[in-house]
Chain A
Amino acid sequence: MKRILCLMLTLCFVLAVGCAPAQPSSPAAPAAPAAPGAPEAPASSKVIPDEIKLGLMSTISGGQAIDGKNMTDAITLVSEELEALGGLDVDGKKVKISWVIEDTEAKPEIAVNAVQKLIEQDKVLAIVGPNNSGETIASGEISQAAKVPQITNTGTNIKVTQVGDYIFRACIIDPFQGIVVAKFAYDNLKITKAAILYDNADTYSSGLSESFKNAYEALGGTIVANEAYSGQDVKDFSAQLTIIKNANPEAIFYPSHIENIPLQLQQTRGMGITATLLGCDSWDYAALPDLVGRDVLEGAYYVTGFSPDADSAKDFVKKFNDRFGYRPSFCSAMAYEAAHIVLNAIQRAETIDGPGVRDAMAATDMDLPSGHVKFDEFRNPVKSGTVLQVRDGVAQYVTSIEPD
C-alpha cells in the first residue's frame, strides 16, 4: 500500500514538474527564438560564412544500397566540381561546401535519427535526400519543424512535399509518372490491354501501380491483370506471371525497385510472354541491359525524368562516366540536380539560413541536366516525362510527354 501511495506521489510530482511546459517545448525549442530575429536584422547585409555544411541522407546499407551508392557518387562529383572551382561563389566570396553523409538503412526511425543528427549536431544548412518517400516523409517532419530545407532526389510519392513548405523534390511525382506511362501506352503505342506486376509492400511500387491503373482506365484502356507480390525478397514471380499470361495483355507495366526488375523481366520472357515491357524511373540504371540480358530488354520502354541523350545532360553524363566508369542512373542524376538546386539557392539567397535558402529554392529557375527546372506551388518541379526505349542495349530517347 505504502509503495503504491509512494508511486502515486512520485507520479504526481513528476507530472507537476514536467507536464505543463512539456507540451509546447518538444519541437525545436532552442531554435525558435533565433529564427524570427535572424532574418530581419542582417537582411540588408548578407552574412556569408567561410564554410557551409550540407547534409545527405541515403540508404547506404540495407536492401536499397545501390541507390545509396548512386547518390554518394553524385555528391562526390558535385563536391569535386566545387573543389576545382575553389569553393562556391557567393557574391564574390569563395565558400567551402562540406557534405555530411548519413545512412538511413531504409528505415523511417533511423532516418529520423539521421536528420536530427544533421540538424542538431552538424548544423547543416540544407539536406539532400533521402531517396525513399517513406523516409523523406518521416524525416521531413523534423526538418520542417527546424526550418531546414530538404530536397529529396527520388521521393516520388505525392505526400512527400505535403509535409510542409521546407520540403522539395527534384523528381517527377508518382501520379504524373503513372499518367505518362498510361498516356504513352494508350496514345503512342495504341495498346488497350495492359497488366501490372507490382510490390504491394512498397510505397513507391504500389503508388505507381495505382496511378497508372487509374490513368489508363480513364483513357479507355483495360487492366486485364493487376498482380501483386510482397516484399523485395520475392524472387519467383511465376504464379503472378501465369495469371498475367492467361489474361493475354499487350503490355506489362513493372513499377518496382531496381533490385527486382531483372528477375521479373527474365521470368516474363522465360515464360514465353511477348507483351511490350513498360517501366518507370527506377529502371534508369545503366547496368540494367547487362543484368537482364540485352535480348530480354530489347524494345522495352520506360519513363524517367531525365534523358541522358538530351543536350543539357551530355556534359553531366560524360563527367560522371569519366569519374565513376558507369552511366549515371536516374537516382544519381536527381541527387546531382538536388545538390545543384541547393547550391544555386545559396548563391541567390538573401540570407544564408534556413528560411532564406528555402525562399531562394522555391524561386529556382535554372538549367539542369534534365532541362529547365522551376517549382510549382507544391514544391514539385515542373518537368516533362521522358520516354526512353532500349535499343541495342542502350536507352534512347523516344518522346517527351508534358504535364497537363
Chain B
Amino acid sequence: MATFVQLLVYGLQLGSIYALLAIGYTMVFGIIRMINMAHGDFLMMGSYAVFFIVSLLFADLMIGPAVALLVILIGSAITGLIGVGVERIAYKPLRSRPKISSMIAAIGVSIFTQNFFRSLPFIGPNPRTFPKLMEDTLFFIGGIQLSMMRLVIIALSIVIMALLYLVVMKTKIGMQMRTVSCDKDASSLMGVNINRVISVTFFIGAALAAISGAFYASSYPILLVTMGATLGNKAFIAAVVGGIGDIRGAVLGGFIMGVVEIMISAVYSELAYGFSFVVLVIILLLKPEGLLGKPMIEKV
C-alpha cells in the first residue's frame, strides 16, 4: 500500500512536468490547430537560455528564488520572441494551408534547431549540468517521500493553468483568441487582427515552453540539444487525451500520462512503454473527444 501511494506520488510528480509542457502546447494547438513539432525544441532553447544567463551572470553563485524567477522570465521572453520570429518566417505563410503543412514546416524547424545548436561551438553535443535554481529538499510524510521541487511544479502548473484560463476567458485578447479558434475569417471580419492574435499566442506558447523547460531541467538537470525531441509528442498526447484545446484538459491529460507511465513501469517494466500507449488509446476509444472535450456535432 505504501508502495502504491509512493508510486502514485511519483506518477503525479512526473505528470506535473507533462502537464506544464502540455499547457503551452495546447495554447498553440487549441487556437491555431497546429501540431507544433518544434514545441520540444522551444523547451530546449528556453532551458539553454536560462543556463547561459545563469552561468554568465551568476557563475557559481547561489541565487535566490526571486532572481531565479527573474532569470526564468527573461529566458522565456527570449524564447517567446524566437517563437514569434519562427512563426512569422516559417508558419505564417502556411496559415491557410492544411494544418499538416505547417506541421511539416515545424519538423523542418525542429531538425534545424537541434542540429544548429549541436553545430554551434559553444553549445555542441556535450551534456551540461543545469544550475540549481532552487534547493530541492526531500521530506517524508508517513513513509511517503515527497520532493519540494515537484510540489512547487505541481502548484505552478495549477497557477499557470488558472492564469491562462483567466487570460483566455476574461481578457480582450483572450476573447479574440477564442474567436480566431472558432472562425478565422469571421473574426477577421469583426475587426480582430488575426496576425496579432496568433503572434501573441505563439509568444505565450513558446514562453510557456521555456518556463516548463526551466522546471523540467531543474528536475532532470542534464541539458542536451535533443532533450526536447520526444517531449513535444508527449505534450501532444496529453493535450489530445485531455481534450483538444482545453487548458484544464491538458493538465489532466498530463497527470494521467505520468501516473499511467509510472504505474505500468512498476508492474512490468519490459512492456511498460507499449502498454502506456495502449491505455491512452483505450481512453480515446471510450471517450473519443478526450476527457474534458465536448462531444462534437458535425454540421454539413
Direct contact, A vs B (beta carbon within 8 Å)? yes
Q: Does B244 contact A (CB under 8 A)?
A: no
Given the known interface contacts A239-B7, A266-B221, A291-B127, the answer about A61 and B115 at a Cβ–Cβ threshold of 8 Å is yes
Is B220 a contact partner of A263 (Cβ separation < 8 A)?
yes
Q: Are A236 and B220 in touch, CB under 8 angstroms?
A: yes
**What 1/0 mask marks residues of chain B from 249 to 267 whose CB sits below 8 Å from any chain A CB?**
0000000000001110110
Interface residues on A, range: 35 or more
Q: Which residues between 224 and 270 of chain A lie within 8 Å of chain B, taking CB atoms?
A: 227-231, 233, 235-236, 238-240, 242-243, 246, 258-259, 262-263, 266, 270
- Which residue of the partner chain B has the closest CB to A292? B129
Q: Which of B233-279 contact A (CB under 8 A)?
A: 261-263, 265-266, 269-270, 272-273
Among the stretches A65-73, A117-125, A167-175, A304-312, the one at the interface with B is: A65-73
A103 to B226, CA, bound (A): 17
Q: Is B145 an interface residue (CB 8 A)?
A: yes
Check A401 for interface membership: any CB of B closer than 8 A. no
Is A239's CB under 8 angstroms from B145's CB? no
Question: Can you name the residue of chain B whose Cβ is closest to the Cβ of A234?
Answer: B273
**For chain B residues 102-130, which have a beta carbon within 8 Å of chain A?**
115, 118, 124-129
A66: nearest chain-B partner, CB-CB? B125
Decide yes or no whether A200 CB sits under 8 A from chain B. Answer: yes
Residues from chain B with Cβ under 8 Å of A227 in the complex: 265, 269
The answer to whether A69 touches B221, judged by C-beta atoms less than 8 angstroms apart, is: no
Q: Shortest CB–CB separation between residue A55 and chain B, in angstroms?
A: 21
Contacts of A258 in B (CB 8 A): 127
Q: Nearest Cβ in chain B — how far from A286, in angstroms?
A: 10
Given A65-B225, A240-B269, CB of A246 within 8 Å of CB of B3: yes
Output the least CB separation between A242 and chain B (Å): 6
Cα distance A78–B92 in the bound complex, in angstroms: 49
When C-beta atoms are compared, the residue in chain A nearest to B229 turns out to be A233
Q: Which one, A69, A229, A287, A290, contacts B265 given CB within 8 A? A: A229
Q: Contact at B269–A229, with CB atoms within 8 Å? A: yes
Query: B269 and A69: CB pair below 8 A?
Result: no
Tell whether, in the assembled complex, residue A242 and residue B3 are in contact, meaning their CB atoms are under 8 Å apart.
yes
B-contact bits for A197-227, CB 8 A (1 contact / 0 none): 0001100000000000000000000000001
Contact A236–B14 (Cβ < 8 Å): yes
- Among B13, B147, B270, which residue has its beta carbon within 8 angstroms of that of A200? B270
Binary contact readout B142-160 vs A (1 if CB under 8 angstroms, 0 otherwise): 0001010000000000000
Count, A-B residue pairs, CB within 8 A: 93
The answer to whether B224 has its CB under 8 Å from any CB of chain A is yes
Q: Which residues of A contact B124 (CB under 8 A)?
A: 69
**Complex Cα distance A304/B224, Å?**
24
**CB proximity to A under 8 Å, residues B1-55:** 3, 6-7, 10-11, 13-14
B222 at the A interface (CB under 8 A): yes
- Asked if B138 CB lies within 8 Å of chain A CBs, one says yes
Q: Are B10 and A238 in contact (CB under 8 A)?
A: yes
Cα distance, A272 to B224, chains bound together (Å): 26
Secondary structure at the A interface, as helix, strand, loop or mixed, is mixed
1/0 per position for A175-214, CB-CB distance to B under 8 A? 0000000000000000000000000110000000000000
Chain A's closest residue to B40 (CB) is: A233
Contacting residue for B127 out of A200, A201, A262, CB 8 A: A262
Q: Smallest CB-CB separation from B226: which chain A residue?
A: A63
Contact between B266 and A239, CB atoms less than 8 A apart: yes
Chain B, residue nearest A230 (CB) = B273
Residue of B whose beta carbon sits closest to that of A228: B269
**Smallest distance from the beta carbon of B134 to chain A beta carbons, Å?**
15
Asked if B193 is at the interface of the complex by the 8 Å CB criterion, the answer is no
Expressed in whole angstroms, the minimum distance between the Cβ of A381 and any Cβ of chain B is 27
Please determine whether B126 and A287 come into contact, CB atoms closer than 8 angstroms: yes
Given the interface pairs A69-B125, A200-B270, A236-B220, the reply to whether A271 lies near B14 with Cβ below 8 Å is no
A42 interface hit (Cβ, 8 Å): no
Give the distance to chain A from B59, nearest Cβ to Cβ, in Å.
14
Known: A228-B269, A239-B265. 15 other contacts (CB 8 A): A65-B118, A68-B125, A228-B270, A228-B272, A229-B265, A229-B269, A230-B272, A233-B226, A238-B7, A238-B10, A239-B263, A262-B127, A262-B221, A270-B147, A287-B127
Question: What 8 pairs across the A-B complex have the smallest Cβ distances?
Answer: A65-B125, A230-B273, A239-B265, A238-B10, A239-B266, A233-B230, A239-B262, A235-B220
Binding site for B on A (CB under 8 A): 61-63, 65-66, 68-69, 200-201, 227-231, 233, 235-236, 238-240, 242-243, 246, 258-259, 262-263, 266, 270-272, 287, 290-291, 293
